[in-house]
Amino acid sequence: MELRHLRYFIAVAELRSVRAASDHLHVTQPAISRQIQDLEDAIGATLFERTPRGLKLTPAGEAYLSEAREILDRVDAANRLARRIASGVQGQLRIGFVENAAWSGIVSRALSAFEQAAPNVALELTPMNTPEQLDALAAGRLDGAIAYRIGALPEGIESVHVLDQGVVLAVPESWPQGSAGAVDAQELAGKPFILFPRRVYPAYYDRLLSACAERGLTLDIRQEASTETAILSLVSAGMGAAIVNAANRDRPPARVRFVELRDLSVPLPLEFCFVERATNPALERFVELLS
């Protein structure tokens, strides 16, 4: 049995005539009659009574007509759903992101544009640091990751460049350092610093300390906190200075002053990462909005 059997049956049942169904479907009468006969043979029941006034549904035919309509409705709905998913306007998209990357700029605009362009895609956003995102991508728990990449990506992960970010010095507002403008790294020697534990992002940790050492600055790390939000809260409390992502300027905390580092630079390329050969159309649509 094929779907055309059901379509022919429904047309004949509704029009009460093979001839009328033939005109409606643009199929020859013998072909329709043959398909109806094949359908009755497959079911093992007579669906129509042949009367002088035309065809009339048997009780079995009446019951079958209701079920046949429901089957075709569900098939049509499945077809529409598949087309919408294939075009990236319906489905699911799980994206991880570093919080400060979504505060403003291209990432926030892309997220907003995607919500408007594909409102029927279930967009699941999860804040994570970069290593957590890459692990989740590899494990299949995320479809995409908005992450700051330091070093090579894990095997099987590719990315598109979003923007370049850097670092900035955050100091308690009460400190004199930077009140007159940018500072050199060596001016911070002996000052207490707050940093994230190395286990949070080893590659970035090592790159940052190496850049400081090249400028003659050995960080006197007095406190550690796992997120930049927590780090900046400690800076606000006067516990020390911190070298943080320059994106934090978009959300300056109270009692913290951001100061340019004249001779110290740590590039932080923001990239959208995903598994190679990923086949989620919603993911492809999101990548287009980031371009």
The pLDDT score that the predictor gives to residue 87 is 63
Who's near 281: CB < 8 A, 6+ residues apart? Answer: 85, 86, 87, 88, 91
Closest listed residue to residue 145, CA positions, set 109, 101, 103, 104: 101
Nearest residue to 3 (alpha-carbon basis) of 82, 85, 76: 76
CATH of the domain at 225: 3.40.190.10
144-148 and 268-275 strand pairing? antiparallel
Which residue do the tokens 């075709």 mark?
A: 72
The per-residue pLDDT for 159 is: 95
Residue 78: the pLDDT is 76
Q: Which of the 8 DSSP states describes residue 261?
A: B
Single residue among 45, 66, 86 that ends a domain in this structure:
86
pLDDT digits (tens, 9 = 90+) for 251-269: 889 999 999 999 999 999 9
User: Does the residue 241 lie in any domain?
Assistant: yes
Do 261 and 180 lie in a common domain?
yes
In tens, the pLDDT along 21-39 reads: 888 889 888 888 898 888 8
Is there a single domain that holds both residue 108 and residue 196? no
Whole-number pLDDT of residue 89: 64
* Cα Rg of the chain, angstroms: 32
> 16-20, 42-46, 85-89, 160-164 — which one is most confidently predicted on average?
160-164
Question: Do residues 44 and 118 both lie within one domain?
Answer: no
- Tell whether 144 and 68 lie within a shared domain: no
> Is residue 282 domain-shared with residue 255, that is, in the same domain?
no
- Give me the amino acid identity at 37: Q
Domain shared by 48 and 190, yes or no: no
Evaluate if pTM is beyond 0.75.
no
Kindly state whether residues 143 and 283 are assigned to the same domain: yes
Together in a domain, 10 and 141: no
User: H-helix or E-strand containing 118?
Assistant: none
Burial of 3 (0-12, 13-18, 19+ CB in 10 A): exposed
Q: Would you give the distance in Å from CA 63 to the centre of its chain?
A: 45
Q: How many domains does the chain have?
A: 3
Nearest to 56 by CA among 45, 46, 68: 46
Q: What are the structure tokens assigned to 162, written together? A: 């979003």
* pLDDT (0 to 100) of residue 88: 62
Q: What is the span of the domain harbouring residue 185?
A: 167-266
Q: Give the position of tokens 């992450």.
A: 147
Q: Is residue 16 part of a domain?
A: yes
Work out the angle between the directed axes of helices 59-86 and 281-290 (0-180°, nearest 10). 30
User: Which domain-ending residue is among 86, 112, 136?
Assistant: 86
Q: What is the DSSP letter of 183?
A: B
Residue 60 covered by a domain = yes
Provide the pLDDT for residue 135.
94
In a domain, 130, yes or no: yes
Among the three residues 86, 109, 141, which one is the final residue of a domain in this structure? 86
Which CATH number belongs to the domain containing residue 8 in this structure?
Answer: 1.10.10.10
Q: For residue 44, is it left (φ>0), alpha (ψ between -120 and 50) or beta?
A: left
> Which has the closest alpha carbon to 98: 204, 237, 238, 255?
204
Backbone angles phi, psi at 167, to 5 degrees: -120, 160
pLDDT tens for each residue of 58-82: 999 889 998 898 888 888 777 776 7
124 shares its domain with 202: no
Domain annotation covers residue 42? yes
Q: pLDDT tens, 167-224?
A: 999 999 999 988 888 999 999 999 999 999 999 999 999 999 999 999 999 999 999 9
Question: 78-133 pLDDT, tens per residue?
Answer: 777 677 667 666 688 999 999 888 887 888 889 989 888 888 888 999 999 999 99
What distance in Å separates the CA atoms of residue 256 and residue 279, rounded to the nearest whole number? 45
Distant-in-sequence contacts of 135-139, Cβ < 8 A, 24+ apart: 136/96, 137/96, 137/273, 137/274, 137/275, 138/275
Is 236 domain-assigned? yes
Residues 48/36, Cβ–Cβ less than 8 Å: yes
Q: Indicate whether 178 and 261 sit together in one domain.
A: yes
Q: Which two tokens stand for residue 251?
A: 């959300």
**Banded model confidence at residue 240, pLDDT cuts 50, 70, 90:** very high
**Residues 60 and 110 occupy one common structural domain:** no
**Residue 77 is assigned to a structural domain of this protein:** yes
- Asked if residue 162 is part of any domain, the answer here is no
Q: Give residue 85's pLDDT.
A: 65
At 174 the pLDDT is 93
Q: In DSSP terms, which residues pair with 11 in a beta bridge? A: none
Asked if 175 and 259 sit in the same domain, the reply is: yes
Assess whether pLDDT exceeds 80 at residue 245: yes
Query: Can you give the pLDDT at residue 285?
Result: 86
